[in-house]
Structure 1
């Protein structure tokens, strides 16, 4: 990989200065400049999640995941202010004298590992299933609510127009929590449930709850059949229950289903009716429609996937699987023998999926060799795939996509060259991209984070920038764009 430096955060531009910025002092988080070395587009055995740049001249991998491996030896030492601006508490791994995080184990993160590792994967899977408690996450002291910004020391930030979207860092307090990537972030009422994920050293099966009104972290006491440590799994809210599916830890992949009752915080592992189940996978997506959860894509440790499964959750104690769209090859033969281009998306993982009515909107992702920029629509009623022709688009993987009325808000992710903190809007009526200006001090570019919509604002939690894992919480005030959420009647025509 050609050497490439991470972009520096832009300094505040001169303009009208305010003494108090919104309701709290904004702390800028920067990402250290990273010099990267290009390698072949192959996945290492332990599956690195550090997505990097892609060259079209190099051969593509048949498996999804990271786009290349990185060498961190040439990383510049972060400044003391950068270290202090990490998330609250001692949630991250220690930083060595060299200025980069110590890494006790090899990075474990792309969707698929090498086929030759299938034997060890089975053994690791069996061992992991017997372990119901993850490695202890880094815990610090209780975090008190930060004091209000002092007008004499607050950073000078240009005033934003009332109509403009605005970034700020949330002033969180409460229980300490670790820095996380590839975790799940699910909203139930006014609480954000954060489960699993990993840092630079290990995966976890811990549950954290963030009060979205008070920005207060808590760690509930859970009981029952607790899942093994997982990352890159999915979590879907069905009423006041959370349905966990799939995920992995290192070379181990799973296709188990767990249910968390958010009222009594009890885990259960219900018996699945029938003998049809999806293959083990992670980096897939899951969306709820009526009484079914639709699973698309991911990777199973050998290859990328593009099949669609439906999990019947009309009764969470009697769930069953059904294959509604099987896996395909890039090209197929017609009855006459002619070569026909497949009308389904390429196999992929680390994409996003959002349900709008009966339409499943798929955007981006990677198969391990290519970072995609395409948009697909799958009608779960008619079982028909359609590709959306958009003249100008953006490549993304490990991003988040959130429905706000008739718009899809895409935040962060990797574009094949670097991590981004861009906010992109896809108009689902016109099917055109729109890149909006956002004010305030933005978070550093990152992927593998989580985003939820609550009270006319988008909340982003955690993530990974290729070298650092974050535990911070950021708020994107939608301002006048908040009215988008009131748009409930529109039709997707493709």
Structure 2
């Protein structure tokens, strides 16, 4: 299957992007040594959440392709600041300067200086452990109706992750969220193949030791749950892209690299994956030089005899893209947004996995450009959260109705997370959990909760089929 191919040198994966200068020579990843890496965005508009308004800070995000190396020579990583909490525990700042941008906010705290000095002399990180959760008591938050959706900061504790959390994967197994990947090109500690877990009932972080053939550090990969096993495919680190498959058994915590027959897909990252009828379906992504629109299946009906197969689809094929989202709804794979390295897409596509046929959804609006967002199915809606719209990183929540196949924006209350992309979200216990992310200059390790309440569930249709001809 062929599709339009374009250079991905301007996809703002984790780097600077100037909407008025989207040319390869303006990218810090071009072959021109004099290329500028300090392009900035203009003053962003004011965004609102619920009945309270707040001004989005001006971002100066750096641009990262799907694989070309930055000319930014800096490689320092800012240490996390530590302050006492009102609850008697230790509150740890969750906003970290990206080591890829080269500059972080300085601190007069001697403990922070000592941590930074120690990190440059040792290849092993010092674990941050928070023994008592800091409860989020914010007197400045306005009252909200009990039936409304409400944002709050999660009172986490335990072994806090020691690395950035951007373009990582989060997979819920029972009540435990498993985190893998999301590494920075310029992390001081390169051997970051660790796995963290988050208990959605107790809000406790733990680090899990794994054995076996552990995959290399990566980001923008996919991790698909099949029989309590995580099927990790693709991703990359720096200029390296992967086409390998690794399997993590969450019960034994053992990694394996299975032997797979059939033709192998091109190395890629920023693709999507869903599991349907014993197969993992892969769509799109990028190779670092071109965006992709191909579809592949990995037969995982037997973990001892996996097989790759390229899928020949019918209908008009979506433009090549990466950093889109894909959700399995019935027998349909719903693809939202993404970018080919030049344009930021507003379109929504459906791939019938039984008929292997593409169809484009006819939207009532084309104003919602999104890449690096998250999409979580909640009943008869997809909740599109955050992402980059070509001008700024967003913090809004856009419910997409799977019955009418239209966006239905709703009001949220509380204090939402700052605008970001490359985060992850999961649905658990009638709440939407948001983890980490990146805003173009800072990476996060924080956790936010959107209490869905009746405002999200009362309008639901309990039984539906996606009808593209309606």
Q: Does the CA contact (< 8 Å) of 2:136 and 2:152 recur in 1? A: no
- In the aligned structure 2, how far is the partner of 1:391 from the partner of 1:280? 36
Aligned to 2:406: 432
Aligned to 1:77: none
Aligned to 2:445: 471
Aligned to 2:23: none
Change (3 A) 1:400 1:44: closer
Deviations 1:50-106 (A, max 9, x none): xxxxxxxxxxxxxxxxxxx99x9xxxxxxx999x9x98368845999x97369xxxx
Q: Does the CA contact (< 8 Å) of 1:91 and 1:137 recur in 2? A: no
Q: Does the CA contact (< 8 Å) of 2:292 and 2:321 recur in 1? A: yes
Aligned to 2:43: 5
Aligned to 1:292: 279
Aligned to 1:378: 351
- In the aligned structure 1, how far is the partner of 2:69 from the partner of 2:387? 18
Equivalent positions of 1:177-192 (< 5 A) are 177=161, 178-192=163-177
Change (3 A) 1:218 1:89: farther
Aligned to 2:336: 363
Change (3 A) 1:101 1:352: farther
Aligned to 1:193: 178
- In the aligned structure 2, how far is the partner of 1:7 from the partner of 1:144? 40
Deviations 1:272-307 (A, max 9, x none): 02x311111100000011211100000122211001
Of 306, 309, 313 in structure 2, the residue corresponding to residue 319 of structure 1 is 306
Deviations 1:218-275 (A, max 9, x none): 01111000001111000001121110001111111111010001011000001002x3
Of 79, 82, 92 in structure 2, the residue corresponding to residue 88 of structure 1 is 92
Q: How far did 1:446 drift?
A: 0.2
- In the aligned structure 2, how far is the partner of 1:343 from the partner of 1:11? 37
Q: Does the CA contact (< 8 Å) of 1:90 and 1:139 recur in 2? A: no
- In the aligned structure 1, how far is the partner of 2:267 from the partner of 2:172? 26
Deviations 1:360-407 (A, max 9, x none): 101100011000000001011101111111021311000000111110
Change (3 A) 1:431 1:94: closer
1:46 aligns with 2:68: yes
Change (3 A) 1:279 1:94: closer
Change (3 A) 1:349 1:36: closer
TM-score, structure 1 length as denominator? 0.73
Change (3 A) 1:377 1:245: same
Change (3 A) 1:460 1:187: same
Aligned to 2:224: 236
Aligned to 1:255: 243
- In the aligned structure 2, how far is the partner of 1:236 from the partner of 1:278? 17
Aligned to 1:209: 197
- In the aligned structure 2, how far is the partner of 1:379 from the partner of 1:250? 35
Q: How far did 1:198 drift?
A: 1.7
Give the gaps of 5 or more residues in structure 2. Answer: 1-17, 21-40, 75-80, 107-121
SS at match of 2:260: coil
Q: Does the CA contact (< 8 Å) of 1:291 and 1:312 recur in 2? A: yes
Equivalent positions of 1:42-191 (< 5 A) are 43=65, 46=68, 88=92, 92=96, 100=104, 138-148=125-135, 154-177=138-161, 178-191=163-176
Deviations 1:411-455 (A, max 9, x none): 000011100001001111111111111000111000000110001
Change (3 A) 1:313 1:230: same
Of 266, 279, 295 in structure 2, the residue corresponding to residue 308 of structure 1 is 295
- In the aligned structure 1, how far is the partner of 2:271 from the partner of 2:98? 31
Aligned CA RMSD, in angstroms, stands at 3.5
Q: Does the CA contact (< 8 Å) of 2:170 and 2:180 recur in 1? A: yes
- In the aligned structure 2, how far is the partner of 1:211 from the partner of 1:264? 18
Change (3 A) 1:485 1:247: farther
Aligned to 2:269: 282
- In the aligned structure 2, how far is the partner of 1:294 from the partner of 1:95? 33
Aligned to 2:419: 445
Q: Does the CA contact (< 8 Å) of 2:222 and 2:235 recur in 1? A: yes
Change (3 A) 1:215 1:45: closer
Greater shift after overlay, 482-491 or 442-451?
A: 482-491
Give the gaps of 5 or more residues in structure 1. Answer: 16-27, 49-68, 73-79, 103-134, 329-341
Change (3 A) 1:221 1:42: closer
- In the aligned structure 2, how far is the partner of 1:12 from the partner of 1:165? 9
Change (3 A) 1:156 1:309: same
1:354 aligns with 2:327: yes
- Say how many residue pairs are matched: 398
Of 359, 373, 382 in structure 2, the residue corresponding to residue 399 of structure 1 is 373
Q: Does the CA contact (< 8 Å) of 2:278 and 2:300 recur in 1? A: yes
SS at match of 2:259: coil
Q: Does the CA contact (< 8 Å) of 2:95 and 2:446 recur in 1? A: no
- In the aligned structure 2, how far is the partner of 1:371 from the partner of 1:174? 39
Q: How far did 1:316 drift?
A: 1.5
Of 49, 53, 58 in structure 2, the residue corresponding to residue 33 of structure 1 is 58
- In the aligned structure 1, how far is the partner of 2:332 from the partner of 2:141? 41
